[in-house]
Structure 1
Amino acid sequence: MTRGSRNLLRQIREAMADGGPAQDRLDTVVRTIARSMVAEVCSIYLRRASGELELFATEGLNREAVHNTRLRPGEGLVGEVARTAEPISLSDAPAHPSFSYRPETGEDPYHAFLGAPLLRGGRAIGVLVVQNRAERHYDPDEIEDIQTIAMVLAETVASGELLGQEELRDVEVAPHRPERLKGQRFAEGLAFGHVVLHEAPLAPEQLLADDPVLEEARLQSALHALKAGIDAMLEAGPTGLSGTPFEVLETYRMFADDRGWNRSLEEAVRSGLTAEAAVDRVRNEHRARFAKARDPYIRERLHDFEDLANRLLRVLAGDKPGERELPEDAILVARNLGPADLLEYPRERLKAVLLEEGSAASHAGIVARALQIPCVGRLQGLRDRLSEGDLVIADGETGEAYLRPRPEMLEAVKQRIAVREQRRAEFALLRDVPAITRDGTRITLLTNAGLAVDLESLDDTGSEGIGLFRTEFQFMVSEELPRLEAQTLLYRRVLDAAGDRPVTFRTLDIGGDKVLPYLDAEREENPALGRRAIRLGLDRPSLLRLQLRALLHAAAGRELRVMFPMIATVEEFRAAREMVDVECDWARRRGRTLPSMLRVGAMIEAPSLLFHLDALLPLTDFVSVGTNDLLQYMYAADRTNPLVSDRYDPLSPPALRALQEIQARCAETGTPVSVCGELAGRPLEAFALITLGFTRLSAPAGGVGPVKRMVLSVDLPAARRGMTNLLGSSAGSVRNEVESLARKLNVAV
């Protein structure tokens, strides 16, 4: 930014500091910008709560249009700037297809157009526009200048410095009325408390630098301190997945060295901003850019930069990053979280998590379920609707969030929580009670796991073992392939924690939306149906063999259960099992101790196996039904996509018939079978499963107690008679009928 441009920012700051009426200050700001940028028009539009963009101030257009001209969301070039959250520069605006003519503004003679979004938290809360009569091209410096000015205006508008609360009442920057947001359930539960903003952004007290050279030195010093702090944590060595994961810290360290990120920060400081304002600006630009990315891996990388930016701001403020203190009733609010973020907060004070983004299959969702913390995600606009300390309700049962709830709503939630606590106490009493139905059928209840912290729930829930241990988590949080020693250490810790209880290790289920940055992967049009899970393992045998070697070494002298995911053909299972035999031979030749018992199984997730069970089952020691993927592939509907995830019901005749077929074929061959999908952890769905004949269920830790209570109340012969009639239904769903059957039989669902 030139000296003249820095003077412009100084003039704007002085105009904002004046104590006159808000409209007068806005008028001064647009006059100052127009004069400095040699523009015949300068206008400021702000987004109303309705989503419309209202003309708040102008120099050059008709003054009568101020507060009268409103553009619908996405309307005109101004709406396009707000929609894309990026600047637009045009030499002949009226010729652009998005141009919208508003006669009351008198903008007929103006051709050149340059607009920049006022970004607040990665979302456009307004638009700054300059225009000229002549058809001209705005140069890169002018585009850079208007972005910096827009960033300054966004902060001052949102903070109330430029406009008072009366003017801001209907502007969508910081609402204070009660609101209800509908999202998606990531982790079940119910809680209320006060908002704690995850790594709450520190608003820069000073935006403009008095000494750019000094500010650049401050930035470099803070970056050095940030990296040194991460290095100091890394020197402690791998701490296991129950704390801040060693591999995640390595990921942070790598991104701290990212050239693009560092260069953007340096350029922002050199443009005349303070170090804090530069970090804030780069963070907003990253949010806007990454939010539009279609690649899920690229979107996930935003979390790393978000965390680094917040840590850097804390360093600049003189704080030392570490475990944050929380109030007794903290509800953590964030746009998204990485797996380490949650683990850094004291669990006993963290009541719930609310996220703008993410998915139930994300790391944050997995960790929240493991910690039994209610988590609701996909809450659009959440962060900008809340302030630190606001009272909120997180409803992990319905997938909703209530912001600043009314007293009657809060009272109703308290009553629901009391009922849940009573049920939790009942579940605790059932911990050591065998899961046996009223007619004497024994049901084995296991838990799903993927973190070391999950192992703590084995004793608490009375689980009989781990029916599914997801091994990919260790790989996904690392920026390089975990070595043999690291893999062996983790698997041994899991077996030690389980004691004499069985553990089923699922080999790497990566690919699709789970990308490993250290593995070169070709871009696939449909990665969910591409080279993932066992396909990737077979294509890269060294990767799979290394994991099998670690598993065999960790289980020396003990039982080992290995399960291969996403088997679609019998040939795939044969090839995978041959790799197990090769690794056993390798260990035997070197005098290594092998597991005392080795069982190898397959996950039934691909619908193709439904028609080849007669060939597959004799080759396996056991199978497990992954209902999550099996059903989404049956219905061609992504369960993590809110647009289609509700297009099918697991309690539908086709789904139930498929599950019944699997159970029947396993019974004929004597093949042990379990269900390890989410259905196994929901009492009503689990009721349907055991009536179909499944006697081995693996559920999230929080589902063991509710499912056990259901099992103890069931008379299976009567339930099976009722379910047989429902399987022949022509309806798209029989959920209501299954629920009616359960209630008729007094089943606790």
Structure 2
Amino acid sequence: MCPDDDHATAAPEQLLQQPLLQTLQRIVEAVGAADSTGEALRVLVTRVRTALEVDVCSMYLVMPGRERLVLMATEGLNQAAVGQVQLDFDEGLVGLVAQRAEPVNLDEAPAHARYKFFPETGEQRYHAFLGVPIIHRRRVLGVLVVQQRVSRSFDDGAVALLSTLAVQIAVAIRQAELSGETLRLLRGELPTDLIITGLGGSPGVGIGVGRVAYSQSDLDRIPDRQAADIGAEVLAFRQAVEAVREEMAAIRTRMVDVLPAEEQALFDAYTMMLASEHLIEGTAARIEEGSWAPAALRDTVRQYARAFEEMEDAYLRERASDIRDLGRRILAQLLSQVSSESPMPERTVLIGEDVSAAQLAEIPPERLVGVVSARGSSSSHVAILARALGIPAVMGAENLPVGRLEGQELVVDGYQGRLFIQPGPQVRREFERLAREERELSDGLNALAGEPALTPDGRLIPIYVNTGLLADVEPALKCGAEGVGLYRTEFPFMVRDRFPSEEAQVSTYRQMLSAFYPRPVTLRTLDIGGDKPLPYFPLSEDNPFLGWRGIRVTLDHPDIFLTQIRAMLRANAGLDNLRVLFPMISAVSELEEANRLLARAAEELREEGLVIPPPQVGVMVEVPSAVYLAESLARRVDYLSVGTNDLVQYLLAVDRNNSRVADLYRPLHPAVLQALRQAREGARRAGKPIYVCGEMASDPAAVILLLGMDYDGLSVSVAGLTRVKWVVRSFSTETARALTDEALKLEDPDRVRELLNDALVDAGLGGLVRAGKR
């Protein structure tokens, strides 16, 4: 076909799609800018009705826990019917859409067998009907409906618009839980005993006061907070505005000879906005009502920007982005004058959209009682760190109203993945009881600290500790750790604003090696990338877990690798308890190159006159290729160590930080168990020991399997050390092997979990079942 024919064929489709995309974008932006969920629904039905030129647009939402729909917003029906009209999935055409979970498009709705007339809506007998389901993760959340008096079948453009809108707003509806108590929450009320659900990230119960972690460069993430001194806040805000005004004037002066006159007008527009009564006085008024200045600025900028976004003129709509830019500039000035930190609560629950390991580490451990993150999963790096610290954590709490939780009383249930906001007396008493039982269990297990991890039939299983913090040393030694099975060297890198020098690294590693001497200490080489970026070494990739991370980064930067290896070897001088561990090895060639660099670093130090004892060297088995290459890799090193966190992720193709697929992350999946057995057999053929340093080693149920597979040692979090020792001392090798053989025949991870939990209960370890993962 010739180019002219191609163009002629494509043009009608392009003409059809472009207005649709523009309309869709305008609606989504308007809904997203709404201050409350109620307003968002009203904006949605109004905009859709106008865009499609229909008589009625309505939104029905499903009541939580029931197959029942409620009219929540309408444009065209009687407003008094909102909240009153309700129908089950087997009632009416709206129920039919929810029941089928697919669009229903009718030109003669009254003629359909499922048609139901609701006189309280004040509706006439509308003929045309189009309803599309709002679905999130296979669950129908609501139905979006348009109706018209005339008899007509809605065209593909209308169906496409509504269907696409339904996809766009499904996540927002799920996050907001636009019904019942959550709806009231997002309208500004905080009922007692409100429950936000997520995923259990770290077991335990934490009762404390909310503290919001946020990026100071993100205006939208500024939390609500009361002004400590209204007069001082207003003054600081006006000074920040004046500083930005001077900044704009200085920029304009610099640009006089660079930009044409029409482009310089932009800075004049900024100056005019900075003099706007809406922006300046509106913010000051909010501060005088009691809000601290950053939150007052946030709300005013949102309102001001939304007013421009709703304008018909394209040029004026674009000014909304200028307003947000000004807001960020004022915020930066403001936070340099107004203290962004209120006093740290004695019992702090850290809350955030995406809590990072660095933010968690900023809270004094003695004050931190819980962590809750809107994103992430139980295998996220921050969840792993929380478990290492023994701090309860809830991850992937998608409907978390982060900005409203500063200073609120909270209960973190790390077992069930729940957050209770403003718990009532009965709820609080129940969780205080659970916390007391947890302390009693821990106190009881402390008696095992000095006992060896010896199975009833006399098999000794060394239990090491996973750590990245020097603060873990004393608790680990008190709990009877046999050494360090995994020291995450990236932590000292993450808390700095530059790469640590060789001398700084020597000091850190020496402290760890000396503290555990003569016990072995395993230092993993730098493992960044994935969910562990460095602020001064940005790694931006579309798929970071399958990208440039772990050994791939350090082999590409031998300067970083050699500096770290030299520091490790120097720190080991006179001690000889160092084990080096290479992460993310996926090929024999990578291991051979890493070994060559290790030998080179050792030779350099010997040339400098240092006595360098050769360390034991190991490889992490955490990608599928390493499972198949286990024997070949083991023949080139002293030991293997299975990192189950990543191994599960890669075997099951599940991003362990993505709460949307967190239910698919199953450590007891049959494929994972087969991989663990195969890796163990590869190490055995090579005559080398193999350990587990991933989170499965801290899971009481999984420990039974690892015993049954004859793994040579386990490395666990400090908080889980005595629990794992209890399991080891309760199961003979014969019993563990029999349970493992039975588990390997099962095809359902839930059945595997049930089998092992029953075994724990039968062995008198029922108290550990609650801490187990799914």
- TM bucket by the smaller chain? 0.5 to 0.7
Q: State the 1:415 CA deviation.
A: 2.5
What SS class does the counterpart of residue 438 from structure 1 fall into?
coil
Q: Which moved more, 1:394-403 or 1:179-188?
A: 179-188
1:500 aligns with 2:522: no
Q: State the 1:215 CA deviation.
A: 4.8
- 2:554 maps to what in 1? 537
* Contiguous gaps of at least 5 residues in structure 2: 1-32, 51-55, 62-71, 76-120, 123-182, 215-222, 247-268, 306-326, 769-774
1:590 aligns with 2:593: no
Check the 8 A contact 1:46/1:171 in 2, yes or no. no
Residues 1:707 and 1:187: Cα distance change in structure 2 (over 3 Å)? same
- 1:468 maps to what in 2? 486
How do 1:418-429 residues align onto structure 2 when only pairs under 5 Å count?
A: 418-429=436-447
1:659 aligns with 2:648: no
What is the rounded CA distance, in whole Å, between the counterparts of 2:523 and 2:402 in structure 1? 42
Q: Structure 1 or 2: larger helix share?
A: 2
What is the rounded CA distance, in whole Å, between the counterparts of 1:558 and 1:70 in structure 2? 73
What is the rounded CA distance, in whole Å, between the counterparts of 2:427 and 2:726 in structure 1? 29
- 2:317 maps to what in 1? none
- 1:89 maps to what in 2? none
User: Alignment partner for residue 419 of structure 2, among 401, 404, 409?
Assistant: 401
What is the rounded CA distance, in whole Å, between the counterparts of 1:408 and 1:356 in structure 2? 26
Q: Which moved more, 1:645-654 or 1:550-559?
A: 645-654
How do 1:184-583 residues align onto structure 2 when only pairs under 5 Å count?
A: 184-197=199-212, 201-203=224-226, 205=230, 214-216=239-241, 273=280, 279-280=294-295, 316-317=337-338, 324-327=343-346, 329-358=347-376, 360=378, 364-383=382-401, 386=404, 389-519=407-537, 524-559=541-576, 560-583=578-601
What is the rounded CA distance, in whole Å, between the counterparts of 1:660 and 1:55 in structure 2? 54
Equivalent residues, number: 550
TM-score for both structures, normalised by structure 2: 0.62
Q: State the 1:743 CA deviation.
A: 3.8
Deviations 1:686-733 (CA, angstroms, capped at 9, x unpaired): 111111111300011111111111111112212312321331334455
Check the 8 A contact 1:487/1:550 in 2, yes or no. yes
Q: State the 1:50 CA deviation.
A: 9.9
Q: Percent identity between the aligned chains?
A: 31
TM-score for both structures, normalised by structure 1: 0.64
What is the rounded CA distance, in whole Å, between the counterparts of 2:614 and 2:550 in structure 1? 25
- 1:248 maps to what in 2? none
* Contiguous gaps of at least 5 residues in structure 1: 1-43, 62-67, 78-102, 105-167, 222-263, 290-305
- 1:228 maps to what in 2? none
User: Alignment partner for residue 713 of structure 1, among 698, 708, 730?
Assistant: 730
Residues 1:203 and 1:747: Cα distance change in structure 2 (over 3 Å)? closer
What is the rounded CA distance, in whole Å, between the counterparts of 2:379 and 2:739 in structure 1? 34
Check the 8 A contact 1:439/1:716 in 2, yes or no. yes
- 2:178 maps to what in 1? none
Check the 8 A contact 2:628/2:679 in 1, yes or no. no
Residues 1:49 and 1:194: Cα distance change in structure 2 (over 3 Å)? farther
Check the 8 A contact 1:326/1:346 in 2, yes or no. no
What is the rounded CA distance, in whole Å, between the counterparts of 1:619 and 1:505 in structure 2? 18
What is the rounded CA distance, in whole Å, between the counterparts of 2:493 and 2:344 in structure 1? 30
1:52 aligns with 2:73: no
Deviations 1:539-569 (CA, angstroms, capped at 9, x unpaired): 2222211211111112112222111011111
Check the 8 A contact 1:606/1:633 in 2, yes or no. yes
What SS class does the counterpart of residue 737 from structure 1 fall into?
helix
How do 1:56-135 residues align onto structure 2 when only pairs under 5 Å count?
A: none
- 1:109 maps to what in 2? none
1:599 aligns with 2:620: no
Q: State the 1:587 CA deviation.
A: 0.9
What SS class does the counterpart of residue 574 from structure 1 fall into?
helix
User: Alignment partner for residue 178 of structure 1, among 193, 210, 213?
Assistant: 193
Residues 1:56 and 1:212: Cα distance change in structure 2 (over 3 Å)? farther
Residues 1:469 and 1:381: Cα distance change in structure 2 (over 3 Å)? same
What is the rounded CA distance, in whole Å, between the counterparts of 1:541 and 1:630 in structure 2? 26
What is the rounded CA distance, in whole Å, between the counterparts of 1:616 and 1:478 in structure 2? 34
Letter in structure 2 aligned against 1:441: R
Residues 1:603 and 1:206: Cα distance change in structure 2 (over 3 Å)? same
Letter in structure 2 aligned against 1:696: G
What SS class does the counterpart of residue 741 from structure 2 fall into?
helix
What is the rounded CA distance, in whole Å, between the counterparts of 1:308 and 1:428 in structure 2? 53
Letter in structure 1 aligned against 2:466: N
Deviations 1:443-483 (CA, angstroms, capped at 9, x unpaired): 11111111222223222322111100111122233333222
Deviations 1:82-110 (CA, angstroms, capped at 9, x unpaired): xxxxxxxxxxxxxxxxxxxxx99xxxxxx
Check the 8 A contact 1:283/1:309 in 2, yes or no. no
Letter in structure 1 aligned against 2:337: L
- 2:662 maps to what in 1? 645
Check the 8 A contact 2:375/2:396 in 1, yes or no. yes
What is the rounded CA distance, in whole Å, between the counterparts of 1:192 and 1:424 in structure 2? 18
